[in-house]
Chain A
Amino acid sequence: MFRYIVRRVLISIPVLIVASFLCFCLVTAMGDPLGNWKTAKPRSPGAVAAETHLIGYDKPFFARYGNWAVNFVEGDWNRDVTPGSDLAPVKSSVLDALWVTIKLVLAAEVLAIIIGVVIGVVGAVRQYSIFDYSITGVAFTLFSMPLFCIAIMIKAGGIQFNNWLQSLGSSTRWITTSGPPPGGFQGSFGTQFFQYTGAYILPVISLLCIEFALYSRFQRGSMLDVLNADYVRTAQAKGLSNARVILRHAFRNALIPVITVSALNVGALFSGAIITETVFGWQGMGVLIVKSVSNIEPWMVLGWLMVTATFIILFNLIADIIYAFLDPRIRLD
Chain B
Amino acid sequence: MAAEAAQASTGTVDLTSTGFDATKARRQSTVIIKRFLRHRLAMISLVVFVVLVLFAFIGGALWKYSYSYEDTTGGGRYLPPTIDHPFGTDSLAADSLSQVLRGTQFSLLIALVVAFLSTALGVVLGSIAGFYRGWVDNVLSRFVDLVLVIPTVVLAGVLARSTQGNWYFIALFLGLTSWMSIARVIRGMVLSLREKEFVEAARALGGSAPRLIFRHILPNTLDVIIVNATLAVSQAVLAEAALSFIGLGVHPPDTSLGLLINKNQNEITLHPWLFWFPFVFIVLISLTVNFIGDGLRDAFDPRQKRVRA
Q: Is the CB–CB distance between A294 and B157 below 8 Å?
A: yes
Asked if A162 CB lies within 8 Å of chain B CBs, one says no
Q: Is the CB–CB distance between B287 and A23 below 8 Å?
A: no
Asked if A193 CB lies within 8 Å of chain B CBs, one says no
Residues of B35-67 at the interface with A, using a CB-CB cut-off of 8 Å, are: none
A23–B152 Cα distance when bound, in Å, is 11
Residue of B nearest to A264 (CB): B148
Q: Is the CB–CB distance between B146 and A15 below 8 Å?
A: yes
Q: Is the CB–CB distance between B283 and A313 below 8 Å?
A: no
Interface flags for A131-152 (1: CB within 8 Å of B; 0: not) read 0000000001101111111001
Q: Which of A58-66, A107-115, A165-173, A223-231 contacts B (4 or more CB under 8 A)?
A: A223-231
Q: Is the CB–CB distance between A26 and B154 below 8 Å?
A: yes
Q: Is the CB–CB distance between B286 and A313 below 8 Å?
A: no
Q: Is the CB–CB distance between A156 and B158 below 8 Å?
A: no
Residues of B256-309 at the interface with A, using a CB-CB cut-off of 8 Å, are: 258, 261-262, 265, 268-269, 275, 279, 282-283, 286-287, 290-291, 294, 304-309
Given known A144-B290, A145-B286, contact A304–B151 (CB-CB < 8 A): yes
A27–B247 Cα distance when bound, in Å, is 17
Min CB distance B152 to A, Å, is 8
Given known A148-B261, A228-B307, contact A30–B158 (CB-CB < 8 A): yes
Min CB distance A225 to B, Å, is 7
B residues near A152, Cβ cutoff 8 Å = 261, 265, 268, 275
Q: Is the CB–CB distance between B261 and A309 below 8 Å?
A: no
A residues near B4, Cβ cutoff 8 Å = none
Given known A289-B151, A308-B151, contact A144–B286 (CB-CB < 8 A): yes
B residues near A304, Cβ cutoff 8 Å = 151
Q: Which of B82-90, B96-104, B204-212, B234-242 contacts A (4 or more CB under 8 A)?
A: B234-242
Residue of B nearest to A304 (CB): B151
Residues of B149-166 at the interface with A, using a CB-CB cut-off of 8 Å, are: 149-158, 161-162
Q: Is the CB–CB distance between A153 and B149 below 8 Å?
A: no
A14–B149 Cα distance when bound, in Å, is 12
Q: Is the CB–CB distance between A19 and B150 below 8 Å?
A: yes
Residue of B nearest to A15 (CB): B145
Asked if A199 CB lies within 8 Å of chain B CBs, one says no
Q: Is the CB–CB distance between B242 and A148 below 8 Å?
A: yes
Asked if A29 CB lies within 8 Å of chain B CBs, one says yes
A residues near B283, Cβ cutoff 8 Å = 141, 144-145, 149
A259–B291 Cα distance when bound, in Å, is 26
Asked if B245 CB lies within 8 Å of chain A CBs, one says yes
Min CB distance B198 to A, Å, is 26
Q: Is the CB–CB distance between B242 and A26 below 8 Å?
A: no
A22–B1 Cα distance when bound, in Å, is 63
Given known A141-B283, A149-B279, A153-B268, contact A305–B242 (CB-CB < 8 A): no
Min CB distance A252 to B, Å, is 19
A227–B305 Cα distance when bound, in Å, is 10
Q: Is the CB–CB distance between B287 and A148 below 8 Å?
A: no
Asked if A301 CB lies within 8 Å of chain B CBs, one says yes
Interface flags for B102-146 (1: CB within 8 Å of A; 0: not) read 000000000000000000000000000000000000000010011
Q: Is the CB–CB distance between B146 and A147 below 8 Å?
A: no
Q: Is the CB–CB distance between B153 and A290 below 8 Å?
A: yes
B residues near A294, Cβ cutoff 8 Å = 157, 247
Q: Is the CB–CB distance between A15 and B290 below 8 Å?
A: no
Asked if B202 CB lies within 8 Å of chain A CBs, one says no
Q: Is the CB–CB distance between A149 and B148 below 8 Å?
A: no
Min CB distance A289 to B, Å, is 5
Residue of A nearest to B138 (CB): A11
A residues near B269, Cβ cutoff 8 Å = 156, 159
Asked if A54 CB lies within 8 Å of chain B CBs, one says no
Residue of A nearest to B265 (CB): A152
A140–B148 Cα distance when bound, in Å, is 25
Q: Give the residue of A16, A23, A228 whose beta carbon is less than 8 angstroms from that of B306.
A: A228
Asked if B246 CB lies within 8 Å of chain A CBs, one says yes
Q: Is the CB–CB distance between A140 and B161 below 8 Å?
A: no
A31–B157 Cα distance when bound, in Å, is 11
Interface flags for A303-330 (1: CB within 8 Å of B; 0: not) read 0110011001100000000000000000
Asked if A275 CB lies within 8 Å of chain B CBs, one says yes
A275–B142 Cα distance when bound, in Å, is 28
Residue of A nearest to B239 (CB): A146
Min CB distance B173 to A, Å, is 12
Interface flags for B242-255 (1: CB within 8 Å of A; 0: not) read 10011110000000
A53–B282 Cα distance when bound, in Å, is 48
Q: Is the CB–CB distance between A149 and B282 below 8 Å?
A: yes
Q: Is the CB–CB distance between B154 and A289 below 8 Å?
A: yes
Q: Is the CB–CB distance between A146 and B290 below 8 Å?
A: no
12 A-B contacts (beta carbon < 8 Å) = A16-B149, A18-B146, A22-B150, A127-B306, A144-B290, A145-B279, A146-B245, A146-B282, A148-B262, A271-B151, A293-B248, A308-B151
5 A-B pairs closest in CB distance = A293-B157, A144-B286, A144-B287, A309-B149, A146-B241
Chain B residues with CB under 8 Å of chain A are 142, 145-146, 148-158, 161-162, 234, 238, 241-242, 245-248, 258, 261-262, 265, 268-269, 275, 279, 282-283, 286-287, 290-291, 294, 304-309
Chain A residues with CB under 8 Å of chain B are 11-12, 14-16, 18-19, 22-23, 26-27, 29-31, 124-125, 127-128, 140-141, 143-149, 152-153, 156, 159, 221, 224-225, 227-228, 233, 242, 271, 274-275, 278, 289-290, 293-294, 301, 304-305, 308-309, 312-313
A144-B238, A294-B157 known, 19 other contacts, Cβ within 8 Å: A15-B142, A15-B146, A23-B154, A26-B154, A30-B161, A145-B282, A146-B242, A148-B261, A148-B265, A149-B282, A159-B269, A227-B309, A228-B306, A233-B308, A271-B153, A274-B242, A275-B246, A293-B153, A305-B154
